[in-house]
């Protein structure tokens, strides 16, 4: 960060899981945070975990352009600017469904949330960061290990996460001249509701079902904060944070 006192973040998917952990980490360490998610109650529960931090809960469906525009307008109205977007909202979609059985509506929902939603939020953040004074800011996209290597029966999720890597690279290139740094964090098996099944057994590439190790989601949150608090002259382009013993290197 710069020496400015104001550190303003927007965190999407802030009502649970990784988004909640990152939002709380930022609030605990002096950031003001706009919490975005589909349910006001869960956003308020996140804010209650860090009552000392200035938080703004904004009910947002990231697949709706008008909701995204309203989120960033509300953030600037309340806090004055946007220094950070943690582009985190996402969904895995129906699990365990072979590609030939995946309904188009399910595919479209994953694409709309994970890719289109990330684009809409990045676009809205980019507009503010480019025009504000002092200009610039940082966008961190939540990519997932599936941006590199798929799990079985994960075609929609994996396709969107690969696409998110392209979004990250393109935004990073276009943001250079405007003081906008863009990076991506690829996360594997952080302890959240989404990964609860990992500890009891999940399908492996060889067809077996086996439990997988997990890591504390707080370690992810600290990594995101490290990326966020670098000066804009420095950027973590890609970071991979995963449970040490999970079957990722050599998956399949």
Question: pTM higher than 0.95 for the full model?
Answer: no
* Residue 143 belongs to a domain: yes
Number of Cβ within 10 Å of residue 113's Cβ equals: 21
The total of structural domains in the chain comes to: 1
Nearest Cα neighbor of 163 from 103, 224, 102, 122 is 122
Q: Write the CB contacts of 251 (distance below 8 Å, at least 6 apart in sequence).
A: 149, 151, 205
Return d(Cα 210, Cα 208) in angstroms, integer. 6
Residue with tokens 């895995």: 92
* Residue 248 belongs to a domain: no
Per-residue pLDDT of the chain (252 residues; tens, 9 = 90+): 333 456 999 999 999 999 999 999 999 999 999 999 999 999 999 999 999 999 999 999 999 999 999 999 999 999 999 999 999 999 988 877 899 999 999 999 999 999 999 999 999 999 999 999 999 999 999 999 999 888 888 899 999 999 999 999 999 999 999 999 999 999 988 888 767 777 778 888 888 888 888 999 999 999 999 999 999 999 999 999 999 988 887 655
Catalytic residues: 157
Q: What is the CATH number of the domain that holds 39?
A: 3.40.50.720
* Residue 163 belongs to a domain: yes
CA 225 to chain centre: 12
Q: 51: which 2 tokens?
A: 């009552």
Residue 54: phi and psi, rounded to 5, are: -70, 115
Q: 71: which 2 tokens?
A: 């989120």
* Residue 194 belongs to a domain: yes
* Residue 162 belongs to a domain: yes
Measured in residues, the chain has a length of: 252
* Residue 252 belongs to a domain: no
If you ran DSSP here, which 8-state letter would residue 249 be given? T
* Residue 3 belongs to a domain: no
* Residue 63 belongs to a domain: yes
By residue range, what is the domain housing residue 226? 8-242
Cα radius of gyration rounded to whole Å, the chain: 17
């Amino acid at each position: 960060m710069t020496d400015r006192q104001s550190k303003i973040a927007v965190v999407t998917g802030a009502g649970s899981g990784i988004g909640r952990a990152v939002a709380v980490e930022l609030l605990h360490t002096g950031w003001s945070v706009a919490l975005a998610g589909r349910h006001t109650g869960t956003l308020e529960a996140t804010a209650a975990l860090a009552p000392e931090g200035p938080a703004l809960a904004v009910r947002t469906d990231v697949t709706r352009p008008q909701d995204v525009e309203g989120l960033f307008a509300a953030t600037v109205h309340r806090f004055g600017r946007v220094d950070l977007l943690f582009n985190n909202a996402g969904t895995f979609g129906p699990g365990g469904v072979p590609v030939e059985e995946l309904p188009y509506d399910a595919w479209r929902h994953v694409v709309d949330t994970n890719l289109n939603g990330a684009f809409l939020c990045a676009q809205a953040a980019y507009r503010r960061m480019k025009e504000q004074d002092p200009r610039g800011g940082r966008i961190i996209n939540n990519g997932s290990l599936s941006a590199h290597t798929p799990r079985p029966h994960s075609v929609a999720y994996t396709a969107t996460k690969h696409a998110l890597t392209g979004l990250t690279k393109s935004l990073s290139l276009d943001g250079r001249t405007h003081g906008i740094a863009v990076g991506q964090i690829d996360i594997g098996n952080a302890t959240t509701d989404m990964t609860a099944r990992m500890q009891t057994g999940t399908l492996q590439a060889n067809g077996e079902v086996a439990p997988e190790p997990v890591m504390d989601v707080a370690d992810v949150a600290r990594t995101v904060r490290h990326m966020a608090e670098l000066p804009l002259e420095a950027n973590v382009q890609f970071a991979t944070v995963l449970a040490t013993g999970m079957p990722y290197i050599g998956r399949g």
